[in-house]
Amino acid sequence: MLDQFGHDPWWIIIIKTVLVFLVLVLLTLFNIWWERRVVARMQHRIGPNVNGPFGLLQSLADGVKLALKEDIIPKAADKVVYLLAPIIVVVPAFVTFSVIPFGPEVNFFGHETPLQLTDMPVAVLFVMAIASIGIYGIVLGGWASGSTYSLLGGIRSSAQMISYEVAMGLALVAVFLYAGSLSTSEIVAAQDNLWFGLTLLPSFIIYCIAMVGETNRAPFDLPEAEGELVGGFHTEYSSLKFALFFLAEYINMATVSALATTLFLGGWHAPFWIDHIWEGANSGYWPVLWFFGKVLFFIFIFIWLRGSLPRLRYDQFMALGWKVLIPVSLVWLVAVATVKAIQLEGGLDRPTLLIALGVLVVALLVVSFWPTRKTEDTAEPKVGVSTGSTNGGRGFPTPPMPTGGAVRGAAQPLSFTQQGRTVVREEA
What pLDDT, in 10s, does the model give residues 410-421?
444 544 444 445
Whether the predicted pLDDT of 131 surpasses 70 = yes
Residue 66 lies in a domain: yes
Per-residue pLDDT band at 69 (split at 50, 70, 90): confident
Average pLDDT, whole number, for the chain? 82
For 126, 199, 205, 223, the CA distances from 325, given in Å and listed in that order, are 23, 19, 10, 20
In the chain, what percentage of residues exceed pLDDT 90? Answer: 27
What is the structure's pLDDT at 385? 47
CA atoms within 13 A on the CB side of 379: 7
For 14, 157, 166, 205, 320, the CA distances from 324, given in Å and listed in that order, are 44, 19, 12, 12, 5
Residue 400 lies in a domain: no
Question: Into how many domains does the chain fold?
Answer: 1
Residue 47 lies in a domain: yes
What is the structure's pLDDT at 153? 84
Whether the predicted pLDDT of 374 surpasses 80 = no
Residue 415 lies in a domain: no
Per-residue pLDDT band at 204 (split at 50, 70, 90): very high
Whether the predicted pLDDT of 390 surpasses 50 = no
Residue 11 lies in a domain: yes
Q: 22-26, 292-296, 308-312: which range is least confident on average? A: 308-312
Range of the domain at 43: 2-273+281-369
Residue 411 lies in a domain: no
What is the structure's pLDDT at 258? 94
Per-residue pLDDT band at 343 (split at 50, 70, 90): confident
Q: In this structure, are residues 119 and 52 in contact, taking their beta carbons and an 8 Å threshold? A: no
Whether the predicted pLDDT of 371 surpasses 70 = no
What is the structure's pLDDT at 156? 84
What is the structure's pLDDT at 383? 47
Whether the predicted pLDDT of 259 surpasses 80 = yes
Residue 410 lies in a domain: no
Phi, psi of 106 (to 5 degrees): -135, 170
